[in-house]
Amino acid sequence: MGLDNAWWWEMAADDKLGIQRCQGCQTLRHPPRPMCGDCHSLEWDTVEASGKGSICSYTVLRHPQFPGYEYPLVIVLVDLEEGTRVTSQLVGCEPEDVDFGLQVEMLIQRDPDGFKLPVFKLAGNA
Amino acid sequence: MPISLKDEAAIAGIGLTDFSKQSGVSELSLAVQCIKSACDDAGISPGEIDGLVTYTLDSSDEVEVARAVGAGDLSFFSQINYGGGAAVGTIAQAAMAVATGQATNVVCYRAMNGRSGKRMGQGVSGDISSSDLIHWSWYTPYGMLIPGSWIAMVANKYMHRYGVTREDLGRVAMSQRNHALRNPRAYGYGKPLTMEQYLNSKQIAEPLCIYDFCQETDGACAIMVTSAERARDLKQKPAIIRAVTQASSRGQEQMTSYYRDELISLPEMELAAKRIYDMSGLGPNDIDAACLYDAFTSEIIMQLESFGFCGAGEGKYLVREGALDIDGRLPNNTHGGLISEGYIHGMNNIAEGVRLIRCDSTSQPEKLVEHVLVSSGVGVPTGAMILGRC
């Protein structure tokens, strides 16, 4: 973690999905970076995302299998309703059930070591 | 008046080591072996080398290489970032150095124990402090640790949007394997690949299976660049650099440009295409063969569109009609490519481009090859060039 992204993980630790917002032109951006590429402002704050979005793309990872992950891993690229995209994991979903365009909702997953990670589930699923 | 790189420089020599899964020697040893070989091929003494270019990922620094191979005084040395995206970029650096008089004989090299040493397929790790490692930190916590996982996200979207099938990817893999069957250097030499094998193979990162991935290889490749004028008087028929460029586009990331509007095209390759066609005065119809960067099969189909050989979404039709085969419209990676010859980070694809111009590929098309297109890594800051006959 560095000075440009630590805040995002701190928001996740607080159970929130953060999006960086330029204070100069109000443009949302992700992944975070220190300057707005549109208006070049260095000033920014954050908004809390609703956590709702749809699946832009996905992949199912099967090999190689690294320690600390449960395979197969369903990885999704989510179009958030705020307009930015985020890469994450789809949990509670069998690989054959994932598809383009499905609605998803964010939840916070807590690792055994206490680290909190924003992940997604299919909308409406428990 | 800006200097155009059109026809200023040429590739006068290529040198390769054996390719294997365990070289048993250091990467520096591989580097100097391939450089000596490139010098011998060109008819230039190592003592005449005055410029060296490699990848930031290469472990053999220029001065170590220079001392070991007995190079002369160096007036130009440079390293290019972004993995396989550096391949043609090294040639662009060398061509600029030659065209501006910074150096006369510039060797570009990549030497790697890519299987027995550090494997690209073993994932990203390290302290998260640089901007590059912070970039990876958006992916590694979710288990996206290997190049295939990053590329699969784009491949899946592209295939879904345009109806590209696994059979289409299989056709790319089989076409290159068929080329490799004639190439004794190649991993795929003597190992035919059938569609049945392809479709039943192990899934790695859906929709990509193991045959969609490039090799992991121990080996090295060097390319000698000098002025086009000087190259005409040397030992080999030169491959003239008609045009060469690097290319990175707005919103570019390394492997994970997921936040641009479109995931189904390669804007950096379209930029490279525009620049090399503008520089050379040539167009897609003038290109007779290609060595398109092929870390993954899906990248080949997408590049056919980026470089204007067909329209958006039409790459699959070219593949289905056999365009990439030896007698096709655009014989591609006639050595087997990174997928079936070996993975020397794209430098071996440049060497094959030179062979095609010299008419000495092990899968030389029957037609006259006037111009060959060579590209660098896909999904990363990249580059492309056109080689031609003198």
ipTM score for this prediction: 0.92
Question: Which domain, by its residues, includes B46?
Answer: 9-118+214-388
The number of distinct structural domains making up chain A is 2
Please answer whether residues B253 and B135 qualify as being in contact, where contact means their C-beta atoms are separated by less than 8 angstroms: yes
Active site annotation includes B139: no
**pLDDT tens digits, one per residue of B48-66:** 999 999 999 999 999 999 9
Per-residue pLDDT, A112: 83
Q: SS3 for B286?
A: helix
Tell me whether strands A44-48 and A18-22 are parallel, antiparallel or unpaired: antiparallel
Any domain includes B330: yes
The pLDDT tens digits for B162-182 are 999 999 999 999 999 999 999
CB atoms within 10 A of CB B368: 8
Under a CB-based contact definition with an 8 Å cutoff, are residues B55 and B346 in contact?
Answer: no
Query: What's the pLDDT band for B185 if we cut at 50, 70, 90?
Result: very high
Residue B302: per-residue pLDDT? 98
Average pLDDT of chain B?
A: 95
B137: confidence class by pLDDT, cuts 50, 70, 90:
confident
Q: What is the pLDDT of residue B252?
A: 87
A to B CB pairs, distance under 8 Å: 92
Domain membership flag for residue A1? no
Full residue range of the structural domain in which residue A117 is found: 52-122
Question: Are A57 and A95 part of one and the same domain?
Answer: yes
Establish if B64 belongs to a structural domain: yes
Provide the number of structural domains found in chain B. Answer: 1
A96 located within any domain: yes
pLDDT reported for residue B3: 79
Among the partner-chain residues A5, A58, A66, the one whose CB lies closest to the CB of B156 is: A58
Write out pLDDT tens, residues B309-352: 999 999 999 999 999 999 999 999 999 999 999 999 999 999 99
Same domain, A16 and A74: no
- Contact call for B144 and A95, based on CB within 8 A: no
Tell me what pLDDT residue A1 has. 75
Contacts of B136 in chain A (CB under 8 A): none
**Taking residues B3-29, what's their average pLDDT?**
96
Is the CB of A3 inside 8 Å of chain B's CB atoms? no
Mean pLDDT of A81-101: 97
Kindly report the CATH number assigned to the domain that includes residue B365. Answer: 3.40.47.10
Nearest CA in chain A to B210: A63
The CB-based long-range contact list for B320-329 (8 Å cut-off, 24+ gap) reads B320/B168, B320/B171, B322/B175, B324/B171, B324/B172, B324/B175, B324/B176, B324/B300, B325/B175, B325/B178, B326/B178, B326/B179, B326/B363, B326/B365, B327/B365, B327/B366
Kindly tell me the sign of the dihedral angle through the C-alpha atoms of B346, B349, B353, B358: positive
The predicted-structure confidence for B214-239, as pLDDT tens digits, reads as follows: 999 999 999 999 999 999 999 999 99
Chain B residues with CB-CB distance to A84 below 8 A: 259
Whether residue B293 lies in the annotated active site: yes
Q: Is residue B229 a part of any domain in this protein? A: yes
